[in-house]
Amino acid sequence: MVRKIAIVGLGKIARDQHVPSVEKNPDFELAATVSRNARLDGIDSYETLGEMLAARPDIDCVALCTPPQVRRQYAVEAIEAGRHVLLEKPPGATVAEVQSLGALAGRHAVTLFATWHSRYAQGVEPARKWLADKTIEAAEIVWREDVRRWHPGQDWIWSPGGMGVFDPGINALSILTHILPAPVHVTAASLDIPSNRQTPIAARIDFLAATGHPVTADFDWRQEGPQTWDITVRTTSGTLHLSAGGATLTIDGNEHLAAPDTEYDGIYTHFALLLAAGESAVDLSPLQLVADAFMLGNIRQVEEFHD
């Protein structure tokens, strides 16, 4: 069964990732977009979600690629109209609002999929399987990139709910919570917030796993040149290293896998499986860790940042 889908919010992430992945997936047909400022050639375009829902009852799936601060209102509108909903990460501005969306989707018998695209990097699932029976001693995340390259002129990321450096950092946390055999919780955090912004440009976080081993995370949005997306897990049986955001897996320095980026292809493959099974998937553990880092964070004001 080919399902018609609409993409809501036609910014960089939608154009670069969602549109190509939908177009190559045989389970979906990109039937419409919703945006006040952009459109795709050859695809029906609507300025508001309500307009699209009223005009296109044949479209039964909606992918929400808007900033997280406004995502909840769109999700409610789509769910109450009986449409299945895919949420770009992070799934919302708060944990509670996404929990309420899950309950709403259940009442309306539609699928809600809170996506974590980095979990579909090729090295992530093999890493999870390798770690499943290992005794872990420590883990470290280093996730540093250049905000000017990935979010040029996007002021929403610096406003409350935009998450600042946690917008990319939550990708690392989505991998961490998937590959570790035991859950972790935040024990301390330090957040650097520019004096002219409202969300952090850098963060350092300490975690403790339920099995007792420490985990640290170093997030920074000021790294120029080569970007760093690394997770290292030290065990009594060897050291596992995920790099390139999870696309490359090495164990004790030996490369086991180096694969191209297929993260968003994986999202839409899984969405199709959920739809076929009539199920939802709303894992909020990465978002909860971000919320806890804000709760426990020691705030340090740093110099102004200009895009």
pLDDT tens for each residue of 184-205: 999 999 999 999 999 999 999 9
- Region 295-305 average pLDDT: 94
Share of the chain above pLDDT 90, in %: 94
Q: What is the structure's pLDDT at 208?
A: 98
Q: What is the structure's pLDDT at 1?
A: 87
Question: Cα 199–74–193 angle (5° rounding)?
Answer: 0
- Indicate the pairing of strand 3-8 with strand 61-64: parallel
Q: How confident is the model at residue 255 (pLDDT cuts 50, 70, 90)?
A: confident
pTM score: 0.96
Question: Cα 12–141–94 angle (5° rounding)?
Answer: 55
Q: What is the structure's pLDDT at 258?
A: 79
- Region 25-42 average pLDDT: 96
- Region 147-172 average pLDDT: 94
Q: What is the structure's pLDDT at 44?
A: 96
Catalytic residue among 12, 24, 89, 129: 89
The pLDDT tens digits for 57-115 are 999 999 999 999 999 999 999 999 999 999 999 999 999 999 999 999 999 999 999 99
Residue 122 in tokens? 């090729």
**Average pLDDT of the residues of the chain:** 96
Q: What is the DSSP string of 20-48?
A: HHHHH-TTEEEEEEE-SS---TTSEEESS
Q: What is the structure's pLDDT at 153?
A: 86
Q: What is the structure's pLDDT at 300?
A: 95
Q: 129 an active-site residue?
A: no
Q: What is the structure's pLDDT at 259?
A: 79
- Region 269-288 average pLDDT: 98
Residue 253 φ/ψ, nearest 5 degrees: 80, -5
For residue 257, pLDDT over 90 is answered with no
Share of the chain above pLDDT 70, in %: 100
Q: What is the structure's pLDDT at 307?
A: 82
**Residue 157 per-residue DSSP state:** G
| Most distant pair of Cα atoms in the chain: their distance | 59
- Region 277-299 average pLDDT: 97
